[in-house]
């Protein structure tokens, strides 16, 4: 089966009126997925990530800083930078967002489910080992990848990221660990303006940058000629997906021109590699996507592909 993991705390991460990374994002996804009426989709509530697991990806000083800011946010919303906000419920939401991916990882490795989608917020892939940015506080996918290798004993773990923004935080955390693979397509002329080919490390880091105005054909070429072959050669024991849907042509924060079916296509491609290398084991977690209609449709077709891969 496919797991759909979330937690009510995600709604308590208050980013303020008009902020694109808002609670309505999860409502749009849930409504769209529910409309599919998938028979092999099982919902679970997340558990919170523990400090020891967080510290496998983040520095102690950084996590202590977040705890301190969280206390200040009890009185008033705190801005870590012009885009990244902490409210009274933000740190708890981030802990449960990371915990969702950890729970999904355990369930998939145990064989309870073949794959999973984690619908939680805030997103994570911009958070480095020691810095919040780009709406992100804790790097959920990196924390779970470390959990898979350190606690569960997997030798090689991969993250594939198709968010329109480069997952600089995930790359940062993975940079010195050759057992962790990071592959990404992203618009290099958008925030955080990283992820160029000069940052690639053969067999370990594979960036396939795109540019504003690129569409489905460019995305598929980058994936089939660069990211997917590198992923196959890495031969992971598990695949994680940083599932950002802001490369959609209707998204307000970027200017790539992907459509719903592109997310279906890449999910099935990744599932095929997972079947060939790691018994189909895949965990996906929500990153970006800020047009609610496009986000709901794109996430739903992504979950549909996961469900089909699990059947």
Helix (H) / strand (E) element for 265: namely: helix 260-277
Q: Are 135 and 14 in contact (CB under 8 A)?
A: no
CA nearest 184: which of 278, 132, 247?
Answer: 247
| Residue 286 DSSP SS3 | strand
First to last CA, the chain: 7
CB 140 within 8 A of CB 124: yes
Q: Which of 7, 58, 125, 126 is catalytic?
A: 126
Closest CA relative to residue 145, chosen from 276, 66, 228, 237: 237
Pairing of strands 2-6, 180-187: unpaired
Residues 6+ apart with CB under 8 A from 274: 115, 239, 280, 281, 282, 309
Catalytic residue list contains 126: yes
195: nearest Cα among 149, 227, 228, 220: 227
Question: Could you give the residue numbers annotated as active site?
Answer: 126
């Amino acid at each position: 089966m496919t797991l759909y993991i979330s937690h009510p705390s995600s709604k308590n991460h208050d980013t303020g009126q008009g902020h694109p990374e808002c609670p309505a994002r999860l409502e749009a996804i849930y409504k769209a997925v529910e409309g599919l009426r998938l028979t092999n989709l099982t919902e679970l509530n997340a558990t919170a990530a523990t400090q020891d697991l967080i510290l496998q990806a983040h520095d102690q000083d950084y996590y202590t800083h977040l705890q301190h800011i969280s206390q200040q946010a009890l009185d008033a919303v705190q801005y870590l930078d012009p885009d990244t906000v902490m409210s009274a419920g933000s740190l708890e939401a981030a802990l449960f967002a990371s915990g969702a991916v950890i729970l999904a990882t355990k369930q998939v490795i145990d064989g309870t489910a073949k794959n999973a989608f984690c619908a939680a917020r805030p997103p994570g892939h911009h958070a480095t080992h020691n810095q919040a940015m780009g709406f992100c506080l804790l790097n959920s996918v990196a924390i779970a990848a470390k959990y898979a290798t350190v606690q569960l004993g997997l030798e090689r773990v991969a993250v594939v990221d198709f968010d329109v923004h480069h997952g600089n935080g995930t790359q940062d955390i993975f940079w010195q660990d050759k057992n962790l693979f990071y592959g990404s397509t992203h618009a290099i002329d958008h925030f955080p303006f990283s992820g160029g080919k000069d940052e690639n490390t053969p067999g370990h880091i594979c960036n396939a940058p795109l540019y504003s105005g690129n569409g489905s054909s460019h995305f598929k070429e980058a994936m089939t000629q660069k990211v997917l072959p590198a992923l196959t050669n890495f031969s992971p024991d598990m695949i994680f997906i940083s599932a950002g849907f802001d490369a959609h042509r209707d998204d307000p924060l970027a200017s790539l021109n992907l459509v719903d079916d592109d997310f279906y296509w890449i999910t099935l491609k990744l599932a095929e590699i997972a079947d060939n290398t790691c018994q189909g084991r895949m965990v996906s977690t929500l990153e970006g996507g800020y047009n609610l209609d496009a986000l709901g449709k794109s996430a739903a077709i992504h979950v549909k592909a996961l469900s089909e891969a699990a059947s």
